[in-house]
Amino acid sequence: MAETSVQTNETTTTGPPARRLRGHKAIATSCIASRDRPGLIASAAEDGCVCWFDMRCKDLLHTMDVAQNPISSLCFKPGNENTVYVSSENEVKVFDVHMLTSWKPLESYSYNKEEINQITCNSKSSFLAAADDGGDIKIIDIRQKCLYKTLRAAHESICSSVQFLPWRPWEVITGGLDSKLIMWDFSKGRPFKVMDLGKSEPDSSSNAGQCFNPAFVHAIAVPEADMLDKTDKICVVARGDGVVDVINIESEFRAAKSKGSSNPKKGGQPKSNGNVPSPSSEKEDQNQRTRLRLDYSSGGHTAAVSCVAFSVFGEKGRYIISGGNDKAVKVWNWSGFFKADETCNKDDFLHLNISLGRKVNWLCTTPTDSENLVVCDTSKVVKVYTVA
């Protein structure tokens, strides 16, 4: 069994092999880890199955035969992890964890016309969002069990990722293969801020060694509600050009409101639900660090970044973890950047580099001290690492 090379920004060491979770018959595509039951992990794959593992046990717990087509995404219902949502093709299925052996969904939603790339629930467990290949995002009312809104006509290509903003209950942020990051008021079905990452480059420093693919948005992550007391209100973006962008979207939001001139082509800007910033607060925003670019010059990825996540172990949100097509997982200690009183060097951000043998499809973290990083690569075996 091949050893796993583990690198830090200070030394290079060779660690023990990752723990391997076997159960899938095809490439693993996605994974989630329970917050309520540490050690419980669910993974999905192109075989249409969801495999359940308990890290305290040696063997696979259950296999759910969910679909005949590949599964693209899965998520728990926040506050009630007995409910899990699974997407395959253009359909979202809802399952009760206590009824895994029956494989029968409690509900199913087929509102998307194209293949779904990601699903996610809001923190209050009232809405589910499903982003698809047509660039549409369906907002489903999971209490009323019906379609609430369709968000469209803003992405020009595939919508690859969607996240609710836990500090703004009627807003979502989406990313797509048009290199755009879009903030929406989903109560009105309108976008109010569009960031074109292919055109907006806040840092013009040298990119020597950086890959030159387009800045497609492959995945995004935002802090969970219980991380907000320790993190800024940010969005992390996994880009096709190998960059991990950490963006203070509250500053972006205020800039959009104050300018009032960056409305997208279709749909107006929703009315402000907050106070207009004063000149002094605008000056503070100008002096504040608003975007961190983690790229090749910081020890970052040399190919497209496929996924990003916040760490939920230890001090929640302390690390950002990214995986890419360069067969590497990077652990970033980013949290000091947005603190104006701290001096930051680009060489200080990379905490850990894990070199794999395959491209990374997805990853997640667990709230345990060990075996706390779960990785789905382009094999049928799910790997589990320990980040200290």
Residue 4: what pLDDT? 46
Residue 273: what pLDDT? 41
Residue 70 to residues 39, 47, 73, 260, 306, Cα–Cα distance (Å): 25, 6, 9, 42, 18
Residue 98: what pLDDT? 86
Task: Check residue 269 and report its DSSP letter.
Answer: P
Residue 327: what pLDDT? 97
Note whether 334 and 292 are within 8 A (CB): yes
Structure tokens at 236: 């992390």
pLDDT band at 211; cut points 50, 70, 90: low
Residue 280: what pLDDT? 36
pLDDT band at 335; cut points 50, 70, 90: confident
pLDDT digits (tens, 9 = 90+) for 118-130: 999 999 999 999 9
Between 361 and 104, residue with greater pLDDT: 361
CB atoms within 10 A of CB 16: 11
Question: What angle is formed at CA 297 by the lines to CA 31 and CA 213, rounded to 5 degrees?
Answer: 60
Between 372 and 258, residue with greater pLDDT: 372
Q: In what order do the strands lie in the sheet with 159-164?
A: 159-164, 171-176, 180-185, 190-196
Residue 68: what pLDDT? 94
Q: Which of 123-127, 186-190, 213-217, 341-345 has the lowest mean pLDDT?
A: 341-345
Encode 339-376: b = buried (16+ Cβ within 10 Å), e = exposed.
eeeeeeebebbbbbbbebeebbbbbbbbbeeebbbbbb
pLDDT band at 258; cut points 50, 70, 90: low
Residue 276: what pLDDT? 37
pLDDT digits (tens, 9 = 90+) for 279-300: 333 434 444 678 899 999 999 9
Task: Give the position of tokens 């399952």.
Answer: 95
Residue 272: what pLDDT? 40
Residue 200: what pLDDT? 59
pLDDT band at 275; cut points 50, 70, 90: very low
Q: How many CA atoms lie within 13 A of 316 on its CB side?
A: 14
Q: Which fold has domain 19-201+210-254+288-386?
A: Methylamine Dehydrogenase; Chain H (2.130.10)
- 260-270: average pLDDT: 45
pLDDT band at 1; cut points 50, 70, 90: very low
Q: Give one word for 228, left, alpha or beta, with left for phi > 0 and alpha for psi -120 to 50.
A: alpha
Separation of first and last alpha carbons in the chain: 23
> So where are the chain's domains?
19-201+210-254+288-386
Q: Determine the 3-state secondary structure of 222 from DSSP.
A: coil
Residue 8 has pLDDT above 60, yes or no: no
